[in-house]
Structure 1
Amino acid sequence: MNRGLEFVHKSMLAYSAACRPLCQKLKLTQTAFDILMFLANNPCCKTASEIVEIRHIKANLVSVNVDRLVREGYLLRQPVKGDRRKTELICTALAQPVIEQGRAVQDNFMKNLLRGMDETTQAAFFSAITIIDRNMDELLKEMK
């Protein structure tokens, strides 16, 4: 496995492992938890299709888990004004404690990833990510 692919794979495994105790405590699947956290952390993204596109979760898994999150009171479906075919997913008050706990897990996960890096190295790392992100945006524009 090449280093980039291995890094992404290990990151996903480590993140899932970090989330597992909270998911078990809350009786949520990892996918349901991921959907809830995605919606909470990305307020500009509110639809199931955005979850599918950006998080690369299969549409049927998004559908099943969104249905469950709605049924359990964590999400509300709200029609989009001007386009009755689209539905926004809104996190409810019941979801807020889950989101707070999830963000604590995410913060702790990031601290553990950066453990052993001094502030200068961390700044260089995040600067490199910003540059790579900008370059990817340019490449995507050129490919259209």
Structure 2
Amino acid sequence: MLGPTEFFRSSAQLKKQYDRQFIKMASRYGLTANDIHLLLFLADYPECDTARDISERMFLPKSCVSRCVDSLTRQGFLSSREDERDRRIAHLSLLPASSPLIEHGRRIRQDFFALMCCGFSPEEYRQLDRLTEKISNNLQEAFHYD
């Protein structure tokens, strides 16, 4: 029977293997895994385009997001523009140079998910979807985040 110990051990194993894929990819481009995840996040959620949005939704410290944004901007993968109402806020946009990295990252993500769910029946996949959403909702409600 699945208990907390096994659940968290399996979750840690999943994250470790997932992170390894992105560390390997990022090193090919001279980036960090967080850089790649930030690019993927902006590609998937273009409306969440501020450092604050990214920090809150990716559960990363603002200092980490700031380092990634600075690095990705310097390397020509991101641009930023000042908010019209609040000059302290910068809105981030992906630049065309980021497209190959995003495509590569999406392939890694899709391949990893397919490997993780290998052998699942359609019903098991639907169960996973429902349970994952339920866990996420429980955490959002308990810890009050979006």
Change (3 A) 1:54 1:26: same
Q: Secondary structure at the match of 2:91?
A: strand
- Which residue pairs with 2:85 in the alignment? 82
Give the distance between the partners of 2:32 and 2:42, measured in 1 at CA.
16
Give the distance between the partners of 1:84 and 1:2, measured in 2 at CA.
47
**1:1-144 residue pairs with structure 2 within 5 A?**
2-139=5-142
- State the shift of 1:87 in Å: 0.7
Change (3 A) 1:140 1:19: closer
Give the distance between the partners of 1:136 and 1:33, measured in 2 at CA.
25
Change (3 A) 1:56 1:139: closer
Structure 1's unaligned 5+ residue stretches are: none
- State the shift of 1:56 in Å: 2.0
- State the shift of 1:46 in Å: 0.8
Give the distance between the partners of 2:34 and 2:106, measured in 1 at CA.
16
Structure 2's unaligned 5+ residue stretches are: none
Give the distance between the partners of 1:139 and 1:65, measured in 2 at CA.
29
Query: Sequence identity, in percent?
Result: 25
Deviation string, structure 1 residues 82-114 (Cα, Å, up to 9, x no partner): 222211111111111111111111100110110
- State the shift of 1:33 in Å: 1.2
Change (3 A) 1:4 1:81: farther
Give the distance between the partners of 2:94 and 2:47, measured in 1 at CA.
13
Of 68-77 and 31-40, deviating more is: 31-40
Q: C-alpha root-mean-square deviation of aligned residues, in Å?
A: 2.0
Q: Point out 4+ residue stretches in structure 1 off by more than 6 angstroms.
A: none
Give the distance between the partners of 1:79 and 1:7, measured in 2 at CA.
42
Q: What is the TM-score with the length of structure 2 in the denominator?
A: 0.84
AA in 1 matched with 2:32: T
Q: How many residues are matched?
A: 141
